[in-house]
Amino acid sequence: MPDTENLTAKALWEKYARSDTQDTKDEIVLHYLSLVKRIVYRLMPTFEGYSNFDDLLSCGILGLIDAINKFDYSRGVLFEKYATVRIRGEILDHMRKQDWAPTSLRRKIQAINSAFSELENKLSREPADSEVAEHLGMDDADMQKIMSKMHMFNVMHFEELLMGEGSGIQAVRDTGETPEESYENKELKQLLANMIDDLPERERHIVTLYYYEELTLKEIADVLGVSESRASQIHSKVIVKLKTGLEALMNS
């Protein structure tokens, strides 16, 4: 059976190539709006009623429009991959500009990470969120709010590392790499792949589900049979571990 969605996208791009009118561009935006929403949901935990969805969706749509304006359909590059980088970049740039992670929040994030590790060693099992909150003398609701920000904070800074100067990944934004950038890109991906292979099975599973199968945190939590906040905490721990390892390798 023909892929109706891809046929629709192809028809829209061919129409846009013939006549790049605003109406056609609006049709393309509407067609890929579900992609923007999917990216926002993957970046933003849903537990504790995190309320910035509309702001992040608006930023994502700006990234989508930018991608449409700069995309060359004739090159045969898959638009979804190209657009995803720009949509994520626009959202993460917005998050950085908000400066929503002051030193006090960073200290609390570190305290929660440390508490999880300490209690896991002490109890010989994964502690419940309520046990961590009690250990820290923190209200359950307050800890959940911090953990929702923890996920976005860690994802933002890990992405910043990958997109930073000298990382070799910056060229992905424009899909036009020099030979040197292409080599650095492949080298960095191989380093990441090696580090992921060395992760404990459960952490490696989360990386696979989040980055390769592109599940949201809620979907990952359902697969693992844990709370969304716990899936977020484990994912954040993995991101910190990979970020720290990459920085050490790049600075060695």
Output the six-digit token pair for 91: 């959202």
pLDDT at 163 over 80: no
Best CA proximity match to 87, nearest among 73, 68, 72, 114: 68
Global pTM value: 0.64
Question: For the segment 2-60, what is each residue's pLDDT rounded down to a tens digit?
Answer: 455 555 888 888 888 887 788 888 999 999 999 999 888 887 765 444 447 788 899 99
pLDDT at 210 over 90: no
Domains located in the chain, CATH noted: 4-98 (1.10.1740.10), 105-251 (1.20.140.160)
| 84 class by beta-carbon count within 10 Å (0-12 exposed, 13-18 middle, 19+ buried) | buried
pLDDT at 156 over 60: yes
Mean pLDDT of 139-148: 80
Q: How far apart are CA 22 and CA 212, in angstroms?
A: 34
Cβ pair 153, 238 in contact under 8 A: no
Cβ pair 231, 206 in contact under 8 A: yes
Question: For the segment 164-181, what is each residue's pLDDT rounded down to a tens digit?
Answer: 433 333 333 444 455 455
| 171 class by beta-carbon count within 10 Å (0-12 exposed, 13-18 middle, 19+ buried) | middle
Q: Which helix (H) or strand (E) holds 176?
A: none
Q: Which helix (H) or strand (E) holds 132?
A: helix 129-136
